[in-house]
């Protein structure tokens, strides 16, 4: 275990724009040290303390779901100058070959995750079972304000069908992430359903995803989803599955024609509650 409360790493976090409170703990997770795992570090954090967990390069193979259940924790990869496209190679939380029945991480309290990779082997058919990362999902879990930034979700030909699933969460943001159906396509980069409110999905890159975002059934009037400035190389910008939802789809880039970028015609999707304007489609 490594915990540092001062010195150069604190200064580096401050220079990166993070406010590190004097009482905050900073835990270092080195994947080569198997006696101190990411879950061990999360379990040591103090709720509301603003603690940091810095993950050094190296894949972290897990045999059960890592649970981010301590509010106010920031988990950040020590990039050492690497592009976010490398995150899955050098900072991945990867399911063990025998771990096929759950996401590699579940967020059930307000958490920030920056620069990590997530790869699951889940064979389950439920929305959360097929995801690499689950935000919310349990009746008592509302990770208000969870923030996922600069992370990578590669499928790598494994059995998981979804990059991130979101349910029962509010005021969350997913940005600057890469969703890659490497080896075989994801059903969806991001799947959203349930009592979800005020979700922002922006500046992400979706490649080899049947749909960048797929919607399930919603409770409480819909997600108020803002989806903007995403690049969708192949696949739909959104698959509503005919579900009623509220939100705005704007300024996204699709390699498909306007009439082929959604699961239905724009007029129908607008009638279901999603407003669509100012997007960019293939040129002919």
For residue range 94-143, what is the model confidence (pLDDT) as tens digits?
A: 999 999 999 999 999 999 999 999 999 988 777 667 899 999 987 667 89
pLDDT-derived band at 5, boundaries 50, 70, 90:
very low
| pLDDT at residue 90 tops 90 | no
As to burial, measured by CB atoms within 10 angstroms (0-12 exposed, 13-18 middle, 19+ buried), residue 8 is: exposed
pLDDT at 7: 46
Q: Which CATH fold would you assign to the domain 2-274?
A: Pectate Lyase C-like (2.160.20)
d(CA 130, CA 116) in angstroms, rounded, equals 19
Averaged pLDDT for residues 166-179: 93
CB count within 10 Å of CB 182 equals 16
Spell 141-167 as b/e; 16+ CB within 10 A means b: bbbebbbbbbbbbbbbebebbbbbbbb
| pLDDT at residue 177 tops 80 | yes
pLDDT-derived band at 6, boundaries 50, 70, 90:
very low
pLDDT mean across residues, the chain: 88
pLDDT at 200: 97
170 HSE (CA, 13 A, CB side): 8
- The secondary structure of residue 1, as a DSSP letter, is -
pLDDT tens by residue, 266-278: 999 999 999 999 9
pLDDT at 209: 96
pLDDT at 16: 54
d(CA 107, CA 63) in angstroms, rounded, equals 17
pLDDT at 24: 82
pLDDT at 168: 83
| pLDDT at residue 11 tops 90 | no
180 against 83, higher pLDDT: 180
The pTM for the full model equals: 0.91
pLDDT tens by residue, 228-249: 999 999 899 999 999 999 999 9
pLDDT tens by residue, 20-44: 555 788 899 998 898 999 999 999 9
């Amino acid at each position: 275990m490594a915990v540092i409360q001062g010195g150069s790493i604190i200064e580096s976090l401050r220079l990166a724009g993070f406010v590190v409170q004097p009482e905050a703990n900073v835990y270092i997770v080195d994947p080569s040290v198997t006696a101190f795992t990411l879950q061990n570090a999360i379990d040591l954090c103090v709720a509301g303390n603003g603690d940091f967990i810095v993950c050094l390069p190296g894949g972290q193979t897990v045999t059960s779901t890592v649970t981010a259940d301590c509010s106010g924790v920031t988990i950040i990869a020590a990039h050492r100058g690497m592009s976010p496209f490398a995150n899955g190679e050098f900072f991945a939380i990867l399911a063990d070959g025998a771990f096929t029945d759950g996401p590699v991480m579940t967020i059930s309290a307000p958490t920030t995750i920056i620069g990590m990779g997530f790869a699951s082997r889940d064979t389950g058919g439920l929305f959360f079972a097929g995801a690499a990362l689950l935000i919310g999902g349990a009746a008592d879990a509302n990770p208000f304000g969870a923030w996922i930034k600069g992370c990578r979700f590669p499928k790598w030909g494994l059995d998981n069908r979804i990059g991130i699933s979101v349910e029962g969460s509010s005021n969350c943001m997913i940005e600057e992430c890469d969703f890659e159906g490497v080896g075989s396509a994801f059903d969806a980069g991001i799947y959203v359903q349930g009592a979800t409110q005020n979700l922002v999905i922006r500046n992400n890159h979706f490649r080899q995803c049947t749909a960048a975002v797929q919607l399930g059934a919603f409770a409480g009037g819909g997600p108020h989803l803002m989806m903007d400035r995403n690049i969708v190389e192949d696949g739909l910008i959104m698959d509503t599955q005919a579900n009623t939802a509220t939100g705005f789809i704007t300024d996204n880039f699709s390699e498909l024609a306007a009439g082929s970028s959604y699961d239905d015609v724009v007029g129908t999707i607008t009638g279901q509650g999603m407003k669509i304007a100012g997007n960019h489609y293939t040129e002919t």
